Amino acid sequence: MLSSASFTLTKIKLQALNITDVSLAVIGHYGKAVTDLSLISLPNVSEKGFWVMGNGHGLQKLKSFAVTSCRGVTDLGLEAVGKGCPNLKQLCLHKCAFLSDKGLVSFAKTASSLESLQLEECHRITQFGFFGSLLNCGAKLKAISLVNCYGIKDLNLGLPSILPCKSLRSLSIRNCPGFGDASLAALGKLCPQLQHVELSGLHGISDAGFLPLLETREAGLVKVNLSGCVNLSDKAVCIMADLHGWTLEMLNLERCKISDASLVAIAKNCQLLSDLDVSKCAITDSGIAALARSNQIKLQILSMSGCSKVSDKSMPSLRKLGQTLLGLNLQKCKAISSSTVDLLVEQLWRCDILF
């Protein structure tokens, strides 16, 4: 089928099939028009299949490659794909148990067109592979994502004096328990042009690691998600608001160790902020009042779920903020009565209120 449609078939997805290495060899030889390839749960495809596919030199137009739960993705197999797909822009690897740092770095050295790299549940990847891929990827890499990778340990690598990765704009590290301050500080030096930063569920991150990331920016941060970073405090948020308030549009501080002081700094500095999440934080009515008093902030989304210290006294402040709000999350705010919520629903008719 593929050989007869080799000049017209552009997207291929193979999932939970009993195909063998032969099928990947055919794709590698005849997939001349293929731009998107997704391989999911192919238990009978081995390292040889990926190696032959990469060396078939037929995937010259491949731009997006996603692999999930395929044991054939080894160091040798991935390196062959990198060499055989010179126009590859996006790589997503999920549950690739046999891929190690060596294979990831070797791939990075050959994938000169790569713009986006996503790794999820690849537990043999350590900080050496992560930083090695950043150092060796071409000048086009814009986004990197690391999710649930338990091989990452927070070591001070002592990176040599090298040219920074100025192309990288987006960094996402989620639920990697070993990722901490040393790694984050190194990233700050290596990637000075970051604009979108997601560091969620990282208990090893504190102000000590986050502040160097803030202070080494050459461009202002636009979107920042720090949800679940329970050791980040007012100090980090206040400095972020001061240094990056002029560009910040989205900020998620759910479960961070912050107080009203952070909201005061946000109200003072973040005039472009449209989306703010302070759910499960120790903020009070005073913090909400500080937001309401600001004449420059125009929030569209405010999430304060689980903020038990915010009470009915915030009614006037929420009403004022409601002049621009399109979404308001008041779920599990136990000190806000149902009658107050009813009044807000009635008066803020443009706003979608969760309670």
Q: What is the pLDDT of residues 95-121, one digit of tens each?
A: 999 999 999 999 999 999 999 999 999
Over the stretch 76-97, which tens digit does the pLDDT of each residue have? 999 999 999 999 999 999 999 9
Over the stretch 184-213, which tens digit does the pLDDT of each residue have? 988 888 899 999 999 999 999 999 999 999
How confident is the model at residue 159, as a pLDDT? 62
For residue 319, which of 270, 353, 281 has the smallest C-alpha distance? 353
pTM of structure: 0.93
Ordered domains of the chain (ranges, CATH): 10-137 (3.80.10.10)
CB 74 within 8 A of CB 101: no
* pLDDT range class, residue 226, cuts 50, 70, 90: very high
How confident is the model at residue 137, as a pLDDT? 86
- CA 40 – CA 42 distance, rounded (Å): 6
How confident is the model at residue 6, as a pLDDT? 56
How confident is the model at residue 7, as a pLDDT? 62
High-pLDDT (> 70) share of the chain, %? 96
Indicate if the pLDDT at residue 158 is higher than 80.
no
The stretch 233-261 carries a mean pLDDT of 97
Structure tokens at 240: 């972020």
Indicate if the pLDDT at residue 31 is higher than 80.
yes
CB 21 within 8 A of CB 48: yes
* pLDDT range class, residue 163, cuts 50, 70, 90: low
